[in-house]
Amino acid sequence: NKWMKKIISLILNRIRMWDKLAADRVDVFIANSKTVQERIIKYYRRDSSVIYPPVETERFSVADIDPLKQAKPYFLIGCRLVPYKRVDMVIEAFKSLGNEYRLKIFGDGVDLKRLRKIAGEAANIEFVGRVSDEEKAELYRNSLAFINPQEEDFGITPLEAMASGRPVIAYRQGGATETVKEGETGVFFDQQTPSAIVDIVHKFYTKTKTGEYHWDSVVIRRWAETFSVVNFKHQMKEFVARHYQKNKEAIN
């Protein structure tokens, strides 16, 4: 509809104008990742400081036994079940991988019905549903790895998995490139396709079993703790104090 397109275009132009005016009134920007910092430069031509969001690392713990030695080891994915999270792609991959590769999915959302349909009768895929904080922590620490197939500005769940001592299999875009240390706390894949996930999961599982990949739960958790609430508060206080002093000197 021609008139509808004109109306939408007018509304979008107004929103852009308002957004630019609002941005111009900002004294200092804080970005929640370098990914967002680059976006602020691109769209607002402004500098910013990166302060990563806090992760409640104290709510998670490392497993007593190696998840690989469990009777039924599994990979894990968890999030709001909405299309952009790309859980469908992971399900397609695990349907191809077969029953040796088990996948547990926690979370709920508007995409659940469609995802169940994609999974069909696959015996190696389990929908856990909504879980309590305690259940989520247990799922994390007993998993082989957490899978992060989507692009996020930052991404809390990969760090929750790492706070549980578990490596992350992540799409190499967005915040994950800043929170996952390749070869130390996880691995990356470069294409958002089921076949790319099949390849990386198979590689991860095979090399972890043979010992070519060695995942040190203590090292992984220690890295996650750099994103703790305590560190976040310290960085925020330091940031505010620094800019308060700068403004005070400018006024005087």
pLDDT of residue 15: 82
Over 90: is that where the pLDDT of 165 sits?
A: yes
Strands 125-129 and 146-148, by their bridges, are: unpaired
pLDDT at residue number 226: 97
Nearest C-alpha neighbor of 23 from the set 3, 38, 45, 1: 45
Q: Which domains does the chain have, with CATH numbers?
A: 57-226 (3.40.50.2000)
pLDDT at 246 over 80: no
Does residue 188 or residue 20 have the better pLDDT? 188
Digit-coded pLDDT (tens) for 207-217: 999 999 999 99
> Model confidence at 5, in pLDDT bands (50, 70, 90)?
confident
**Mean pLDDT across 1-21:** 78
What confidence tens digit (pLDDT) does each residue in 168-200 have?
999 999 999 999 999 999 999 999 999 999 999
Taken as a whole, the chain contains a residue count of 252
Query: Cα separations (Å) of 45 from 18, 37, 41?
Result: 16, 10, 4
**Chain mean pLDDT for the chain:** 93
Distance between CA atoms of residues 76 and 80, nearest Å: 14
| pLDDT at residue 108 in the model | 96
Per the CB < 8 A criterion, the answer to whether 221 and 167 are in contact is: no
Contact present, 128 and 104 (Cβ < 8 Å):
yes
Q: What confidence score (pLDDT) does residue 118 get?
A: 97
pLDDT at 122 exceeding the cut of 90: yes
